[in-house]
């Protein structure tokens, strides 16, 4: 399960939270791979390709997540945070391509930024969605994730 299109498929089955968490795990894994590749001395081309993959995945994931959150009345602050993170990811990708990046420092920074986003934006948004679902009486799939 590593496609950012899983959100819509899982949503149809009532498992949106599981889909979002699986996609977060895929993004984390890709960022960790980037750090490992830097430590292993991968070429700039390989590192840039890894960042292309992260950016492409995140673009789709963020769009799908924002659509889901909009349907459930989340605010635009979350979307703004996505734009900032994508800008940072793209800046690192561009610096790799230009040979002016900070290596593992950049990789660690990206991973930390991603963890911060999950802790300060995604988890609160998912908790709010769970509350809404439970109030409506249809939150079984979201509740399993937050137990």
Cα–Cα distance for residue pair 50/56, rounded to 1 Å: 10
Residues 6+ away with beta carbon under 8 Å from 1: 22, 26
C-alpha to C-alpha distance for 72 and 27, rounded to whole angstroms = 23
The Cα-based distances of 40 to 86, 99, 106 in angstroms read 25, 16, 15
- Give the tokens for residue 7: 């959100």
Q: What is the pTM of this model?
A: 0.79
CB 82 within 8 A of CB 120: no
- Residue whose tokens read 């809404």: 132
pLDDT (tens, 9 = 90+) of the chain, 147 residues, equals 445 566 667 767 767 777 788 889 989 999 999 989 988 989 999 999 999 999 999 998 898 888 878 876 667 888 999 999 999 999 989 988 888 776 656 778 899 999 999 999 988 888 877 777 778 776 554 444 444
């Amino acid at each position: 399960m590593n496609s950012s299109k899983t959100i819509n498929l899982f949503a149809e089955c009532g498992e949106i939270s599981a889909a979002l968490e699986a996609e977060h795990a895929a993004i984390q894994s890709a960022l960790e791979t980037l750090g490992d590749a830097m430590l292993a001395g991968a070429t700039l081309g390989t590192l840039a390709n890894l960042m292309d993959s992260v950016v492409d995945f995140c673009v789709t994931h963020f769009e799908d997540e924002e659509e889901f959150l909009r349907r459930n009345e989340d605010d635009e602050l979350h979307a703004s945070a996505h734009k900032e993170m994508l800008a940072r990811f793209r800046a690192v990708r561009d610096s790799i391509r230009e040979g002016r990046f900070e290596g593992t420092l950049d990789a660690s920074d990206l991973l930390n930024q991603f963890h911060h986003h999950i802790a300060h934006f995604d988890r609160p948004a998912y908790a709010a969605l769970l509350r809404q679902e439970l109030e409506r009486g249809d939150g079984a799939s979201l509740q399993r994730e937050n137990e």
